[in-house]
Amino acid sequence: MDRRSFIQLATLSGVAGVIGPQAVVASVNQPNMAGGLYYTKDAPGRWHKKVAGHLPRISKQNKPEGKIKLRVTTQHGMQAFDHYIVKHILLDKDFKFITENMFDPKKDKVAVSDFYLSSYQGPVYVLSVCNKHDTWMNFLEV
């Protein structure tokens, strides 16, 4: 192969390496939310064996004065900084941030968050973020 052919082939390979993956990624139907990627019970993706320990569970309790207490629990071990739940994030019906609770894996033995809402109606989305197995979403109608 002469020098000119080698340069042309190398250039075409480089362009294909940049354009090809973008074309594949663009064709994947991802949800329209910040980050664009999370896993659910029905769509666990590559982590299909990890649902039980990563999907956040949500319970609702009505409190006096019209407040609602949401308790979020992720059944996941807290193994110091090796493997743990980083935080729980609460989002409204439009996937807008409401609040979050971050965990200290050296102090927190379980990933449990209590959130209090007043004057909100509609779906609440909860994200549970694992340092190794990505972000998991569940929701509850309030």
Tell me the domain boundaries of the chain. 1-30, 45-141
What local confidence, expressed as pLDDT, does residue 128 receive? 98
What local confidence, expressed as pLDDT, does residue 106 receive? 92
The tally of CA atoms less than 13 A away on the side-chain side of residue 21 is 5
Considering only the top CATH level, what class is 45-141?
mainly beta
Phi then psi dihedrals of residue 106, to 5 deg? -85, -25
Cα separation of 96 and 87, whole Å?
A: 16
Bridge partners (DSSP) listed for residue 62: 68
What local confidence, expressed as pLDDT, does residue 24 receive? 38
Pick out the chain residues at pLDDT < 70: 1-36
What local confidence, expressed as pLDDT, does residue 34 receive? 44
Q: What pLDDT digit, counting tens, does each position of 81-108 carry?
A: 999 999 999 999 999 999 999 999 999 9
